[in-house]
Amino acid sequence: MQSGNARNLDVKLPKQGCVHMNDNKEENMDLSALEARVDELIRTIDGLKSENTALRSQQENLINERSILIEKTEQARTRIESMISRLRAMETRS
């Protein structure tokens, strides 16, 4: 029994095997476009993963190079300070 507020909706569903050819072609085109887009996204992701790996490696190399340069700078500073001290000591002796 239906309530007074409910409406009777007539919904027409296609009979099995009665799919229009145009609808089928459109669905295939939509699926092909979607498949192409998914393939493109997969290639983009693969490229980004590769680039990310290369950038991380480059970052690690630069961090190591920076560490070496800091160490060399400290060694040079120590030697220069030592030379300045020896020059001052020579000045005071003369």
Q: What is the pLDDT of residues 10-33, one digit of tens each?
A: 545 555 555 455 778 888 889 999
Residue 2: predicted pLDDT: 47
pTM of the model: 0.57
Place of tokens 């939509």: 30
pLDDT at 77 over 90: yes
Supply the DSSP symbol for 15.
P
Does residue 61 have a pLDDT over 80? yes
**For residue 59, how far is the Cα from the chain centroid?**
15
Average pLDDT, stretch 70-87? 98
What string of DSSP letters covers 34-49?
Answer: HHHHHHHHHHHHHHHH
The average pLDDT across 20-48 equals 90
Measure Cα distances from 61 to 33, 55, 64, 67, 72 in Å.
42, 10, 5, 10, 17
Q: What angle do CA 77, 80, 85 make, to 5 degrees?
A: 125
Domain boundaries in the chain? 25-94
